[in-house]
Amino acid sequence: MKMFFPMMIDIDKMKVLIVGGGKIAYRKYNNVAMYANNITIVAKSFNESFLKEEFLKDNTDVKLLEKGFELSDLDGYDMVYAATDDRALNMAISEHCHSKKILVNSVDNHENSSFINMGIFDCEIDDEKVLIGVSCQGKNPKLVKTIKYQLEEYFASRREKR
């Protein structure tokens, strides 16, 4: 059984690549956008969330490459999300990243990933800003989401009582 070591990492100066243009790729983009400044997204096509005028206007530092993916597209990146609907392609991306020591998250199989994301949120506890993360080791994202929302509600109600 694969176990992931929980840690926080500064990705501000890392080059991040997201392969895929669908809703999961968009969600992964939203997860890293507040922490990374150099993000490229490559896909044959992009869903409407990526193409909305406000997305394009607000994210001038994000590069959208509308093309077919090639393994050479991984060159020079520090962190990669394999977020396509093609399991074989996600596997090939993961294998290539592992061989090149590039951090990779395969959205369809955490076993092929070198990292996973946690459900995270900011809150204030005793006037201190805190970042809280929840993980099920990549096995149950729905449960992570449920626990995250329950904790957010708990800490929000706790702050309101003060």
pLDDT score, position 55:
72
Look-up: residue for tokens 């983009």?
A: 29
What pLDDT is stored for residue 60 in this prediction?
66
Distance in angstroms (rounded) separating the CA atoms of residues 135 and 129: 20
CA 69 distance to own-chain centroid? 19
pTM for the full predicted model: 0.88
Consecutive 10-residue averages of pLDDT for the chain (162 residues): 86 96 94 91 93 72 92 97 97 97 95 92 88 88 92 84 66
> How high is the pLDDT of residue 155?
87
pLDDT of residue 2: 79
Contacts of 154 (CB under 8 A, 6+ apart): none
**What distance in Å separates the CA atoms of residue 115 and residue 119, rounded to the nearest whole number?**
13
- Specify the 3-state DSSP secondary structure of 100: coil
Integer Rg of the chain from CA: 17
Give pLDDT, residue 124.
86
**pLDDT of res. 125:** 85
